[in-house]
């Protein structure tokens, strides 16, 4: 039985063979055979070579990475406290342990202590402060007093 790899037009047969054997290398990272994904050592993100399921272990590691960049980040926590935020949730692909593209933003759902929505200037200042603290652009969504956002992970604010 012969196996012929299906490859994109821009990929050489040599690279496809290296990927299958798990020996492919590039300047930024490595292709791995187990998950058929490209891993950039500087960032937890995935560019698919072909569709494959992401393991639970990979999802947990990615989620822990984002929790470390938020919950364990003193500048992030200080920015939330300074702007009167009582509760925050991590949303988007980060909360699901998915890989992200360079253009994606950190998605944070927030609720103020007063239960009121923040005005535009305060929201913009908080968004900038979170972006600087986490070194990624952020997008904020305000949650009402009775609302718990769907598909999110609650951040513990100390």
**Domain coordinates of the chain in residue numbers?**
13-53, 57-155
Tell whether domain 57-155 is in CATH 3.30.460.10: yes
- Amino acid 79: pLDDT: 94
- Amino acid 110: pLDDT: 92
How far apart CA 83 and CA 26 sit, in angstroms, is 44
pLDDT over 80 (residue 105): yes
How far apart CA 143 and CA 39 sit, in angstroms, is 34
Q: How confident is the model at residue 20 (pLDDT cuts 50, 70, 90)?
A: low
């Amino acid at each position: 039985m012969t196996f012929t790899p299906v490859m994109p037009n821009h990929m050489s047969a040599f690279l496809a063979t290296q990927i299958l054997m798990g020996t492919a290398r590039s300047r930024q990272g490595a292709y791995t055979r187990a998950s058929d994904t490209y891993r950039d050592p500087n960032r937890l993100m995935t560019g698919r070579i072909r569709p494959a399921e992401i393991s639970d272990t990979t999802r947990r590691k990615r989620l822990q990475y984002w929790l470390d960049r938020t919950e364990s980040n003193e500048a992030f926590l200080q920015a939330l406290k300074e702007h009167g935020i009582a509760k925050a949730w991590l949303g988007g692909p980060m909360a699901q342990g998915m890989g992200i593209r360079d253009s994606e933003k950190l998605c944070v759902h927030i609720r103020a202590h007063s239960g009121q929505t923040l005005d535009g200037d305060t929201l913009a200042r908080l968004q900038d402060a979170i972006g600087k603290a986490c070194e990624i652009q952020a997008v904020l969504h305000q949650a009402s007093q009775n609302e718990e956002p769907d598909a999110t992970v609650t951040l513990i604010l100390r």
